[in-house]
Amino acid sequence: MSNIVDGDPLVERIGARVRAERDRRRWTLSELAGASGVSRAMINRIERGESNPTAVVLGKLSAAFRLSVATLLDPETPDTGHGDGDRVRRAAGAPQWHDPETGYARRQLSGPGFPAEVAEIDLPAGARVPYPAAAFAFHRQLIWVVEGHLTFHEGETVHELEPGDTVELGRPAPCVFVNATDRACRYVVVLVRGEAP
């Protein structure tokens, strides 16, 4: 499946955010490539808004930056302080991103100013999405399965999760989210920045 895009605002925003984070650290493309394991050419295409990164690539970039994936997907929006209306995030306005490789879909439920990041994930039947251990090094996470069945690999440990089940992630380990069934799985990720357990 091609992940070349043409003027997709979310893809352009992701590219701008990756570039801003790289510039903030004064890293060259080569330095980010070395830190993340993502090729210079791919990073360049992402920054130019020419390629929609896969979930695996986003995980590697977030690990290199020591940021959550949600931070790379959600724009830096200041709190305007205009009251209750600013705290309401309508479903239609929530940032949504689709992995061009697996069909994995992520919808950000919490806003940039909220102290925890909350995202809803739709994992299609047969999808498998791995993340490196470094993507979990500076965050505490809880996974809550809402619908379907999730096979969650946390290092050597495998959790089989049904609707209503939750798992709190332990020490940073390579993680793989797997939907080995023939129907969609939906789960919620709650992330709080802080030192890993």
Instruction: Return the CATH number at 30.
Output: 1.10.260.40
Is the CB of residue 96 less than 8 Å from the CB of residue 10?
yes
Residue length of the chain: 197
Q: Kindly write down the DSSP assignment for every residue of 64-87, as one continuous string.
A: HHT--HHHHHS---------GGGG
- 4 in a structural domain: no
Number of domains comprising the chain: 2
Q: Say yes or no: 43 and 117 in one domain.
A: no
- 102 in a structural domain: yes
Q: Say yes or no: 60 and 97 in one domain.
A: no
- 124 in a structural domain: yes
Q: Say yes or no: 44 and 115 in one domain.
A: no
Q: Say yes or no: 181 and 149 in one domain.
A: yes
pLDDT at position 153 is: 97
Q: Say yes or no: 20 and 62 in one domain.
A: yes
Q: Please say if the pLDDT value at position 78 is more than 60.
A: no
- 83 in a structural domain: no
Element (H, E) at 153: strand 150-154
- 29 in a structural domain: yes
pTM of the model: 0.76
Q: Say yes or no: 115 and 169 in one domain.
A: yes
Note down the domain range covering 44.
9-73
- Residue 31 in tokens: 């330095």
Is the CB of residue 62 less than 8 Å from the CB of residue 135?
yes
Per cent of the chain over pLDDT 70 is 88
Tens of pLDDT, residue by residue over 24-70, are 999 999 999 999 999 999 999 999 999 888 888 988 898 899 887 77
In 3D space, the residue among 40, 20, 21 whose CA is nearest the CA of residue 31 turns out to be: 40
Q: Say yes or no: 19 and 100 in one domain.
A: no
In 3D space, the residue among 170, 144, 138, 140 whose CA is nearest the CA of residue 157 turns out to be: 170
